[in-house]
A and B are shown apart, each in its own frame.
Chain A
Amino acid sequence: MNVTFTLLDWLWVALFLLLMIGSGVLFYRLGKRSESDFFLAGRGLPWWLPASSVYATHTATDTPMWITGVIYQHGMAGIWYTFFSAWAAISSFVSTRIFRRSLAYTQAEWNVVRFTGLGSELLRGWMAGWQFFMNMFVLGWVGIAMGKVCEFLFGWPTWIGLISFSLVCAIYVLAAGYWGVVMADFQQGIIAFLVIMIVSFWGIFVAGGPTGIIDKLAALDMMERINPFAFTGWWSGSFPAAWFVTMLIIAVLGGFGMGTSIDWYVEAQRIQSAKSVRDASYSIWWGTLLGLVRNSVWAVSILAFFVLFPGMTETADYEMGWFRLGFDYLPAGMLGFFFAAILAIHLSTISSHLNLGALYATRDLYQHYVNPKADEKKLVQVGRISTVILLLGSFFYGLMMEDITSWLIFALWIMAAGIWLPNILQVIWWRFNAWGYLSAWIANLGFSWLVVWILPELGVIPELLDYQQFWLLMLLGALVFIPVTYLTKPESMDHLVHYYVMSRPIGWWGPVRREAERRGLITPAGDLAGLAAELSRPDDAKRK
């Protein structure tokens, strides 16, 4: 389809882009003050700012395509695919709290706070390299989605949509760093949320409203599509209940760990930019909830699209469904507003990953490993140079490697399966050490290839369903990292005690806790009971 824009439409777009670049100029002075300002907005944000950034960043151009895909395919049950972000439910009150107390700029830096010695440094280097690549990759992936949207709408070659808007975004990220990102995210979050609601409700209205959708589903004999628990059986089919349970476990229990979802690495930056532990918790909880509620509204509007256009079999046809609701049915003059919202969705994701990738390059790779004596001015300069490298790298990924990008998404998910458990253990188990964790990362490299591609290709094992791959990879990983952990020394008790007192982790930390109590760094639990009884007495009784 080709959409024709009126002057009013282009005016909306121009106004929006000016607003975004303006935020870069406005916060330029704050961003350049120090490394902490360029990457964490000086660690002083109230919870609602990082919350809006959590929401805006995880609303990308490809998100409506992906959600349309799963809802069109599975009906309301497809909403569980979007529930992966629910790791934030437990994390907000557990791992977010612990991570905020570590003060680490990045998840890579966290490794040297939690572990010690060579192992911790190797982990930091490994993770920093991985994240620098990952952010470049995500930028390319999201960028090409924007290229496709512009091709779909205006018939432009994909490179125009990819390059032009990422360049606009780079202006305010280069100027103001994370200050620019988070301030623009706040505006983008509001615009995107409003427009997603308007377009979705418009689509529902066009399909005859809620009763119209249900009547049409009944006429199509597809009422199971409104049932969120309509699975294809327990163990088999396109969406077995076993996969639903697996996804729920990955998401919910994953909240005890750090890095159990790929989104954690983005959230880690938001957590540290919050002004207090409480602000960090609420930013993750509310930002994620807003995303979940948005998914619910999207899901219903995609059911509306389904009853308007049932029977599509090609993913490429139906994945643009939500965009079609907007561009096919919104009145003239509103199209530009809709496109401006799509830009908001796009820029908020691009800006976050540009700044986050630059953070790993600057803090972990450059400052820690290349030039530890660098001053603040130099670090901000390196931050800007890294941002440009990421931008150029993302063009390469987006333009030259579209095929790789699409397959890598799956590969990366599988990658995450083998380190899901170690990601939790690093938080909740004192004995888990750097060597165990590093071995899990490296072993998973081999196992994921074997289980997903090589062994099925050779006919040694059948092709496994998603949930089978997850559990098998988890088990295989454990067969490596548990022996490695026990065969190597625990982290030094001095280091663990220091970490424990600072972060106060949850879980199995008995020996470390006892040592901290012995050293007088923590009040013993028994003494606390007395303190509690004292506190619960009325004030006047205490005075007596």
Chain B
Amino acid sequence: MNQGLATVIGMTIAYAASFLGLILAWRSYKKHHSQEEEKP
């Protein structure tokens, strides 16, 4: 495998993991936020 492709694949996995964490955080924050708003 050439150097450039190897780096692209590796970095993509690294950032995919980070973005997954970010999305999980966003969903969770929104969920708790809306729960708080629904409370009287």
Contacts and interface: CB of A to CB of B under 8 A. Distances in A.
Given A121-B29, A369-B28, A129 B18 contact: yes
Contacts of A129: 17-22, 24
B34 interface: no
A189 B21 CA distance: 34
A130 B25 contact: no
B25 to A, nearest CB: 3
B9 A126 contact: no
B27 to A, nearest CB: 8
Interface residues of B, number: 24
Contact of B15 (A407, A445, A453): A445
B6 A404 contact: yes
A401 B10 contact: yes
Contacts of A24: none
A446 B39 CA distance: 42
B13 A133 contact: yes
A62 to B, nearest CB: 17
State which size class the interface on A falls in: 20 to 34
A133 B18 CA distance: 8
Interface string A395-415: 000000101111110011000
Contacts of A126: 18-19, 21-22, 25
Given A118-B29, A121-B29, A132 B11 contact: no
B40 interface: no
Contacts of B4: 453
Interface of A: 118, 121-122, 124-130, 132-134, 137, 364-365, 368-370, 401, 403-408, 411-412, 441, 445, 449, 453
A407 B6 contact: yes
A411 B15 CA distance: 12
Given A122-B25, A403-B1, A408-B10, 11 more contacts: A126-B18, A126-B25, A127-B18, A128-B21, A130-B14, A369-B27, A403-B6, A404-B9, A406-B6, A408-B11, A412-B14
Contacts of B26: 118, 121-122, 125
A447 to B, nearest CB: 13
A449 B3 CA distance: 14
A122 B17 CA distance: 13
B21 A365 contact: yes
B14 A133 contact: yes
B21 A407 contact: no
21 contacts: A122-B29, A124-B21, A124-B25, A125-B26, A125-B28, A126-B21, A129-B20, A129-B21, A129-B24, A130-B17, A130-B21, A133-B17, A137-B14, A364-B21, A365-B21, A370-B28, A403-B1, A404-B1, A411-B7, A411-B10, A453-B4
In this complex, the member of B20, B21, B26, B29 whose beta carbon has the largest number of chain A beta carbons within 10 angstroms is: B21
A243 to B, nearest CB: 22
B24 to A, nearest CB: 5
A521 B15 CA distance: 41
Contacts of A445: 15
Contacts of A408: 6-7, 10-11, 14
A368 B7 CA distance: 32
Interface string B28-39: 110000000000
Contacts of A365: 21, 24
Contacts of B10: 401, 404-405, 407-408, 411
Contacts of B21: 124-130, 132, 364-365
A129 B25 CA distance: 10
Given A403-B1, A408-B14, A445-B15, A122 B22 contact: yes
Contacts of B15: 445
Nearest to B12: A404
In this complex, the member of B14, B20, B27 whose beta carbon has the largest number of chain A beta carbons within 10 angstroms is: B14
In this complex, the member of A122, A133, A404 whose beta carbon has the largest number of chain B beta carbons within 10 angstroms is: A404
Contacts of B13: 133
Contacts of B9: 401, 404
Nearest to B4: A453
B17 A125 contact: no
B37 to A, nearest CB: 14
